[in-house]
Every structure is written in structure tokens, then in C-alpha cells.
Chains A and B, each alone.
Chain A
Amino acid sequence: MNTIPLDLQIVNALAALLLLLSFSMLSQRRIVSLVNLLAMQGLLLTVATLMVAWRTGETHLYLSGLLTFALKVLFLPWLLHRLIRRLEVYWDTEPLLNIPGTMLVGVLIVVFAFGLAQPIAELASETTRNSIGIAVAVILLSFLMMITRSKAMSQVVGFLSMENGLFFGAMSTTRGMPMVVELGIALDILVAMLVLGVFFFQIREQFDSLDLHHLESLKEGD
């Protein structure tokens, strides 16, 4: 049995935790907890980035780890919590598909994601065997969460978690994207959050609720 170096084992463990967090987000209906889970995801991502940085000695990965920490662990959760308090949305309504059903679909998606990652993983270095599959799974699970939730706030959380998955995939397979790209993405997320924040207020102003069902009335009539 060949021994995997300790740092790699840690990265793999972090990846597994990331997947687990995705599932717990899928089953969580309290929005406050959802944001906390997102923050935890960010924390895991930071640690994983720092591990990879330490392993490969790429200095810009340290930077990007710090950026992740500042943005995804501190700033965005703080912003979301503030929004939740001001908008007074603590609970999501019953999801469109019930939670056990969603979990089952999620399992299928993970299988699909690993199947998908198989041929790519064989080409990749040993560092990344499992992380590609996990990254794809996290992306698809977050997508699933966006589909099944009806409150705008949970969809934003899904969106951010999707970005986390993308970031993890990029970081673990290619030792991080170029710094410019990472900065660009970070800025995008920030701007998207701010715009969405404004949107929330507008939506609530208009419909007295953040429930996206109300947007159906915007559809062009027959």
C-alpha cells in the first residue's frame, strides 16, 4: 500500500468535508444556519488553499487563501447576516422537492460527478484524484439547491457555494488560477452580492415577501 503524504491526506479530508457540507446545506432550511454553513465552507476552502500553497510553495496561493478568508469567511457571511436581520427572513418555506428526495437526487449527482471525473482524474497527478470529482459534485449540488429553494436568499447562498466548488476545483487541479483571474472572480462575487442585496430590497418592496413565486406574475400573459 503506497503511503500518501500527510498534507495530501489533509487536503483530501478537507475535500470530503466540503462535500459533506454541501449535503448539509441541501438539507438545511434555516437560512441563518445556511449562511453559517457557507462560512464554514469558506473556512475549509481557506485551509485547503493554504495547505496546497505550503505544499507547492506557490506564493500567490497564500495570497488567494487570505483573500478567500477575508471574503468568504468574514465579509460575505457578515453581509448575508445583516441582510437576514434587516429583511427578517429566517426560514425558507417548504422546498419544492422534499428534503429526503433532494438528498437522494444529490447522491445520484455525486455518483454522476465521480463518473464524470474518472477519465480526467486518470490523467491528473496524484494530488487531485478525488478533488475533481468532489469539485464537480459540489457545483452540481449547489445548482440543485438553487433549483429546489424558493427564497431568493437561499438561492444566493447556493450561488456562492457553487463558486466555492469552482474555486476548489481550480485550486486543487491546477495549483490555482492566475492571480488576475482570481481577483477578477472575487470582485465579481462581491459586485454580484451587492447587486443582489439591492434586488432583495426591491423584490420585498414590490411583493412584501422574498418568495420568488411572486415573480411568476411577471410572465407575459397568454
Chain B
Amino acid sequence: MSIYVENLSFAYGDKQILREINLNVKNGESIRIIGVSGCGKSTLLKLLAGLYKAQDGIIEVQGERNPEQIRRQVSVVMQNPMLFPASIKDNITCGHPMSNETIKRACDAAQLSDWIASLPDGIDTYVGERGGKVSGGQAQRIAIARAIAKDAPVVLLDEATSALDGDTSKAVIAALESLTKGKTVVSVSHRPDDLMEYNRIYRLEGGRLFNA
């Protein structure tokens, strides 16, 4: 089992967000969770990513229960890509030692290579404060390249396709397809339709998970 969740509950203070969530996702399976804004989708994703500690219940990702270990098993792509005020290369490697080949592969898969080749400083181009020197689509693809380079077995997508417009969506979708190929995927979104395909779809409502 790639993701195993049993009786997971979570609250912010007195406000109960998730109630007795049970979820099983097999290796290579992709699922989608939909729900209205504020229903707890992002919280669930943060718990699955090991960013939050579960208050009640069990979360197991690739056999790991410790949040720090879980984080090693997952890659996350968010709606608003967060970039470091550093070079494209540093944004992909996150400061970790990585071979040029791995970086190039990640850039190819994320549809970044042609754009990078056109830049005077290439992969060492500075992306600016909050990624201010690159477009939204380019920033999103850098974030995807980062996730590809990490090569984690589980991919979590947080509204990753919600803000795409016509011109950039094709490149981003292609990049996301490269990222998710052969991986366990959990995608959360407030929109019922999506540009990608999934094995199962769930609905999060009142803190509980239902089959959609």
C-alpha cells in the first residue's frame, strides 16, 4: 500500500476539520479529492505530505509513519508555485547535490529546456523575489521540475491545474504528466472537472470523505 490512512481526525483548536478519514491508495494509483473551499482538502494534503502531525489516527506513506520520513516519500505541487529568490538551478535542486544529468532530465520533463536555453544566464538565471522575474507558467514548471528531480514515489497536487490559462496549460499539463507517470498521485481541487485522469474520485464534506 502506498498511502494508508485510518481514522484520521484533525482540529485547529476547537474547530474540527477532519473526522475519521479512512483512505487506501495502492502504488501507482491516482485519486482525486474534491470539495468546496475551506472543507479541509489542503489540511488533508498537508497531513499526507508530513507537513502536519496527525492528532488522532494513523497516516502511513510508503510504509513510513514519522512525518519527517513521510516528507522524503512525497513531492507536492501547489496552485501558487513558491520559488526561492535564487537561480533556476537552486530552485530545482533546493541546494542538494544533484548531477547535471538529473537536472537536465527534470527540465526536459517539465518543458523548461527550450526556455532555459534562450536565457543569457541559462539555468543560473535568477528568478527574483517571489519568482517576480519569471511568468506564472514558468514558475509552475520550475516547481514541477523540482518535484521531478526529487523523484519521490508519491505525488500530491494541491489545485495544481486550477489557475492555468490556455497558453500555458498545455506545457504545464505535459509537465505534470511527466511528473506523475508511474507514481501514486493524490490531487485535491475545488473544481469537479480536471484536465488529468484519475482512478478514483472522493468528495470531502463536513470533514468526512465520501466516494464521489
A complexed with B: no
Chain A interface residues (CB < 8 Å from chain B): none
